[in-house]
């Protein structure tokens, strides 16, 4: 990849298509081979459709397909989990430990999850390790306000109530699986050596050791319902045909978000539509959401919250251009400033959508190390050598004059010079009249060499989904629980609201995935 970047250059779109952020880990070995087909092949293979059904699907790509009837095999279980990420692995392990007979269907050939932290609230082991104790009542009010009064209050309360127990449990399971769990005190969370995927894979391995059956390369494609509308199973698509997995206690959707489904983004999260999805492989295309809808589930009201962050990674995400969150001067493709750069990290993308390539470019000067050291609450080191690497690879630029920098980074030179002059004028004045950025983040740009780093805004996750009650039971349009159908992780709605993922609690997306995976597995096993 480095050779390609240095030899030929890579556009933003091509860079992302090449797989920036791709997970390069192999999952636990498949227990059953089930090769997924393309959507086109699947649509052709699902049934001999009537002309009417085909026209309906052509008019609405999200419409329910006709019922699959050519079942090659039927298998019986207590619980069937669809999706093997943090939520699905926790559910499968918890349910198996509770004595349930469990099957897990996974779209690809590996366990897959993303993220950096898994929030754990007020678990005794974490408190003893120095993690911040959370005033749950106060946090509930703060979190609700941050989410525009759109949260499912009882569901969020259930998360806080169950997090202490699930936190203790995940530490024990990590130790049992031989995965190193790290408590990053004072942050109330857990992370794993080898990234969060190592924790999920450890749970998946344990679940298999304890009796769960995992069917890799076997996506769930359609729920099975009885005459009353209760969900009784799910149909998986294998290379040998369709397999019906009956579930006497419940089907648990844990299929992740829909960041790769452009039709779903247009309908439920249009604010994310201009951006490309960051993570590969592109399993997260909303199949679980759609299956739940087709079975009568209610979707969280639009727009769904998005997590669109500024990145500049190379390879599998291990190398990041430094000072990613630093509020340096940001300019658009025309060389003009366009925002208060100190605004919340999760909201910066909302200004970038106005411009052609939905990105921003940071501009700073030769005193950057001195200035960066004075900035509060910043991450990504400024002096570890990665800036020079990114300059070598062509993703960052360095020049002795602003005119040269403009030429290297392809900006109108006069616009860049005028923007920097105005910025320096505001710094000298001691007040940002243009965007009201606090002066603690404003430093002059007047000492060569001058630098530019282009920052990409990309979708990390969409955190809206199927509405559930506080048992994670999917509800219908009348808010009645659909018997036998549950949703956890990012296919679950109600945990977040508003337009953007909030950062009141570090790692909450993965935290709720693990906690509710544990809770649903535990409770269904007892049912």
Per-domain residue ranges of the chain = 86-303+465-526, 309-459
Model confidence at 320, in pLDDT bands (50, 70, 90)?
A: low
Residues 6+ apart with CB under 8 A from 148: 497, 498
Confidence class of residue 51 from pLDDT cuts 50, 70 and 90? low
Which residue bears the tokens 């349930």?
100
Give dist(CA 396, CA 389) in Å, integer.
Answer: 9
Provide the CA 269 distance to its chain's centre, in angstroms.
14
Residue in 497, 494, 490, 498 with CA at minimum distance from that of residue 471: 494
Q: How confident is the model at residue 172 (pLDDT cuts 50, 70, 90)?
A: very high
Segment 465-493, tens digit of pLDDT: 999 999 999 999 999 999 999 999 999 99
Contact 155, 468 (CB under 8 A): yes
Predicted TM-score (pTM) of the model is: 0.85
SS3 354: coil
Q: Which tens digits make up the pLDDT trace of 397-456?
A: 999 999 999 999 999 999 999 999 999 999 999 999 999 999 999 999 999 999 999 888
Pairing of strands 450-462, 359-364: antiparallel
Q: Give the DSSP letter of residue 65.
A: P
Could you identify the residue written with the tokens 């509308």? 229
Domain 86-303+465-526 in this protein, CATH class:
alpha beta
Q: Is 376 exposed, middle or buried (0-12, 13-18, 19+ CB in 10 A)?
A: exposed
Which regions of 374-502 does DSSP assign to beta strands (E)?
Answer: 396-399, 450-462, 473-475, 481-487
Cα(346)–Cα(146) distance, integer angstroms: 12
Least confident of 62-76, 128-142, 183-197, 312-326: 312-326
Architecture of domain 309-459: Alpha-Beta Complex (3.90)
Token code pair at residue 189? 């969370």
User: Taking 60 as the threshold, does the pLDDT of residue 36 lie above it?
Assistant: no
**pLDDT class for 338, splitting at 50, 70, 90?**
very high
Take residue 352 and report the two structure tokens written for it. Answer: 């970038």
Q: How far apart are CA 243 and CA 383, in angstroms?
A: 55
453-467 pLDDT tens trace: 988 888 989 999 999
Q: What is the pLDDT of residue 366?
A: 95
Beta bridge partners of 398: 451
DSSP 374: T
| Among 473, 491, 412, 421, residue whose Cα is nearest residue 88 | 491
For 502-512, write each residue's pLDDT tens digit: 989 999 999 99
278 burial via Cβ count (<10 Å: 0-12, 13-18, 19+): buried
Please tell me the predicted confidence (pLDDT) of residue 498: 87
């Amino acid at each position: 990849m480095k050779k390609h970047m240095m030899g030929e250059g890579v556009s933003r779109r091509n860079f992302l298509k090449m797989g920036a952020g791709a997970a390069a880990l192999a999952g636990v070995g498949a227990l059953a081979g089930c090769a997924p087909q393309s959507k086109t092949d699947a649509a052709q293979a699902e049934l001999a459709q009537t002309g009417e059904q085909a026209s309906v699907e052509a008019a609405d790509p999200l419409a329910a397909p006709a019922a699959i009837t050519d079942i090659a095999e039927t298998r019986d279980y207590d619980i069937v989990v669809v999706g093997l990420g943090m939520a699905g692995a926790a559910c499968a392990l918890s349910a198996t430990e509770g004595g349930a007979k469990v099957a897990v269907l996974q779209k690809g050939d590996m366990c897959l999850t993303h993220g950096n932290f898994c929030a754990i609230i007020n678990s005794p082991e974490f408190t003893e390790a120095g993690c911040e104790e959370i005033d749950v009542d106060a946090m509930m009010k703060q979190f609700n306000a941050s989410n525009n009064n759109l949260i499912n209050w009882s569901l969020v309360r259930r998360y806080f109530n169950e997090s202490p127990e699930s936190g203790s449990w995940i530490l024990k399971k990590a130790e049992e699986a031989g995965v190193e769990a790290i408590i990053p005190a004072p942050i109330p969370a857990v992370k794993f050596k080898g990234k969060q995927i190592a924790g999920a894979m450890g749970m998946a391995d344990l679940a298999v050791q304890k009796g769960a059956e995992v069917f890799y390369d076997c996506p769930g494609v359609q729920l099975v319902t009885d005459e009353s509308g209760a969900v009784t199973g799910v149909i998986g698509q294998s290379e040998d045909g369709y397999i019906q997995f009956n579930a006497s206690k419940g089907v648990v959707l844990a299929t992740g978000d829909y960041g790769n489904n452009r039709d779903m983004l247009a309908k439920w999260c249009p604010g994310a539509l201009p951006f490309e999805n960051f993570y590969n492989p592109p399993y997260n295309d909303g199949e679980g959401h759609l299956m739940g809808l087709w079975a009568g589930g209610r979707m969280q009201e639009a727009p769904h919250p998005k997590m669109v962050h500024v990145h500049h990674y190379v390879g599998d995400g291990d190398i990041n251009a430094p000072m990613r969150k630093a509020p340096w001067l940001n300019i658009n493709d025309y060389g003009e400033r366009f925002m208060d750069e100190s605004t919340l990290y999760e909201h910066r993308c909302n200004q970038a959508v106005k411009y052609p390539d939905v990105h921003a470019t940071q501009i700073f000067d030769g005193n950057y190390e001195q200035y960066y050291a004075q900035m509060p609450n910043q991450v990504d080191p400024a002096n570890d050598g990665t800036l020079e690497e990114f300059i070598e690879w062509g993703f960052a630029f360095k020049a002795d004059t602003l005119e040269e920098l403009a030429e290297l980074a392809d900006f109108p030179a006069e616009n860049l010079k005028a923007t920097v002059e105005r910025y320096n004028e505001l710094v000298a004045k001691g007040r940002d009249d243009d965007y009201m950025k606090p002066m603690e983040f404003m430093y002059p740009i007047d000492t060569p060499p001058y630098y530019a780093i282009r920052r990409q805004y990309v979708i990390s996750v969409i955190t809206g989904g199927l509405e559930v009650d506080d048992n994670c039971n999917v509800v219908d349009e009348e808010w009645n629980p659909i018997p036998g159908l549950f949703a956890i992780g990012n296919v679950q709605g109600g945990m977040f609201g508003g337009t953007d993922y909030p950062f009141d609690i570090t790692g909450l997306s993965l935290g709720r995935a693990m906690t509710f995976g544990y809770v649903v597995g535990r409770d269904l096993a007892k049912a």
